[in-house]
Structure formats: structure tokens, C-alpha cells
Amino acid sequence: MKFIDESAFKYLSVKAPLIGAFILGVIPVLLQNGMDLQLIPAEYHAAILTVVLPLLAVLGKKIKQPELHAPDLNQFATIQPLVSTATGDLAWMIEAKKHIGLKENTSKTTHNPTILKWLKSLGAWWSEDETPWCGVFVAWCLKQSSVAYPKHWYRALAYTEGGAKLLKPAYGCVAIKTRSGGGHVCFVAGKTKDGKLVCIGGNQSNMVCYALYNPSDFQEFRWYGKTSRPADSRYNLPILNNVTATKVSEA
């Protein structure tokens, strides 16, 4: 299989190492043969062994080698890309999606070690996953992305005290709602064709998952990014149709 139509030897990064390797391979052999056959006067042998050959070794290290890169497999895909990498996504959303499916341990005697790690990193004074942890999840994702989060990050309703208030939801914004006994906080990830919001959050039915909400369910939408407001394109929420959890427990 021929990958390129032009000769690779037109590039200096290919020619230089080959020429250098040839010189460094041939010259020492010629010098050694010259000394063995007494073609080189004996008084020069010491100089060759102590100066010339070490200089050649140093020269060999100085010759720039070509940079090696992993091949782009998509170049050779004839039907569809072999590798799909999300581009342009928000750092905290990438972090949030890594944990989809993570569940708390409901036994009350053992706890999910990942959630315990989040609590320790955030400076929590408790170490169990029975306490509602939706705010913990949001704070962890923001912290991993070097984005500021509320002082009282463990309280869902505390997220109304930071960031910038939005008039409507944008991709990646924090959505805050009240519930019986407290509140709930999550990230807006998209919407369905019928207008429901698709949100990713922690402690949604005791796990990290997507869930559907009506926009009116939320008290506020707030932007916690590194900019003062989201890019206009973030308001064009992606359509997600594979989310079936229309109602989740949040306590």
C-alpha cells in the first residue's frame, strides 16, 4: 500500500538522519582500516582515537531526528471515521460524562470510593455517600476544570450564589431546582425534540446519569465557565433522543 505520492527523501528531516548515519557508520571504519593498514601515520592514531572519534559521536547526537506521530487512522477510513474524538466540548462536561453510570453504595456500611475521593478533594468533613451528593458532583467537575465553584458547594441551592445568571439554559450551564427537603443541581447537556431538558447530574436515582426535566422545573440557570457568559452557540442545545429517565429521585 502506498500512503504518499511523493518521495520521502525530499524532506530534510528524513535526509539528514540518513546521511548522518551513513557518515558516522563509514568514517570510523575507514579510519580504523587506515590505521590497521598503516595508511595513517602512527603519530595520528592517538589524535584519531581521542579527538576525532569522540567528535563523531557528539555529532551523531546533534543530528536532528524526525518527529514521530501516531498515524491518523481516519485518513484510511473509506466508510466512516475509525476514531471519533469530541472537539469543542467543555472541560467540566467531559469530566461529567466520564462518570455516567457511577452509583453510590446504598448498604450504609460501605461507600463508593470515587465519591469518597471527591469528598476528600473538596475538603468535606464527612466521608460517606448517603448524604445527597449532587452538589459534590458538580463541584468536582468544575474543580477538575479549574472553574470556581461556590463556597458551600455541598448545598445545591448555594449554586445560585455564584456564576452568572442566564435567562435561558445553555449547554454546560448549571441548573438549580428546589425539591422537597432541599434542592438539586446538575448540568444542562441538551434537549429532546419535545423541548424537555436533558441534564447530567450526580445523585439522580443514586447515580450519575442523564435525566429529563421541564425547563420550568428549575429555579435558575447559571454559567460557571471561565468566561462571563457562554458563547452564543451554547444556547443551541443539541437534540438527544436516547434518554428515557423522565423522572429520578434526588434525595
**Distance between CA 43 and CA 48 in Å, rounded?**
10
pLDDT, tens only, 194-238: 999 999 999 999 999 999 999 999 999 999 998 999 999 999 999
> Both 35 and 149 in a single domain?
no
pLDDT of residue 54: 73
Percent of the chain with pLDDT over 90: 56
Mapping DSSP onto H, E and C, the string for 182-228 reads EEEEEEEEEECCCCCEEEEECCCCCECEEEEECHHHCCEEEECCCCC
> Both 43 and 150 in a single domain?
no
Give a yes or no: residue 250 inside a domain.
no
Give a yes or no: residue 171 inside a domain.
yes
Count up the domains in the chain and report the number: 2
Q: Which residues pair with 182 in a beta bridge?
A: 179
Give a yes or no: residue 40 inside a domain.
yes
- Its domain, for residue 199, covers 91-235
Give a yes or no: residue 124 inside a domain.
yes
Per-residue pLDDT, averaged over 126-139, amounts to 95
> Both 41 and 120 in a single domain?
no
> Both 126 and 231 in a single domain?
yes
- If you average pLDDT over every residue of the chain, what do you get? 82
> Both 179 and 120 in a single domain?
yes
Q: Output 242 or 92, whichever has higher pLDDT.
A: 92
> Both 157 and 197 in a single domain?
yes
Give a yes or no: residue 43 inside a domain.
yes
Last residue in a domain, options 85, 107, 129: 85
pLDDT-based confidence at 137, cuts 50/70/90?
A: very high
Residue 245 CA: distances (Å) to CA of 41, 235, 248 = 89, 23, 7
In 3D space, the residue among 208, 207, 162, 203 whose CA is nearest the CA of residue 189 turns out to be: 208
pLDDT of residue 69: 47
pLDDT of residue 53: 65
Give a yes or no: residue 248 inside a domain.
no
**Distance between CA 18 and CA 57 in Å, rounded?**
15
> Both 76 and 35 in a single domain?
yes
> Both 52 and 125 in a single domain?
no
**Distance between CA 94 and CA 211 in Å, rounded?**
17
Residue ranges of E strands in the chain:
164-166, 174-179, 182-191, 197-201, 209-213, 220-223
Q: Which segment of 56-60, 171-175, 177-181, 220-224 scores lowest on mean pLDDT?
A: 56-60
Residue ranges of E strands in 100-169:
164-166
> Both 128 and 50 in a single domain?
no
Give a yes or no: residue 17 inside a domain.
yes
Q: Which residues pair with 164 in a beta bridge?
A: 223
> Both 96 and 48 in a single domain?
no
> Both 27 and 134 in a single domain?
no
Per-residue pLDDT, averaged over 53-77, amounts to 55
Give a yes or no: residue 247 inside a domain.
no
pLDDT at residue 119 tops 70: yes
pLDDT of residue 182: 86
> Both 80 and 117 in a single domain?
no
Per-residue pLDDT, averaged over 165-170, amounts to 97
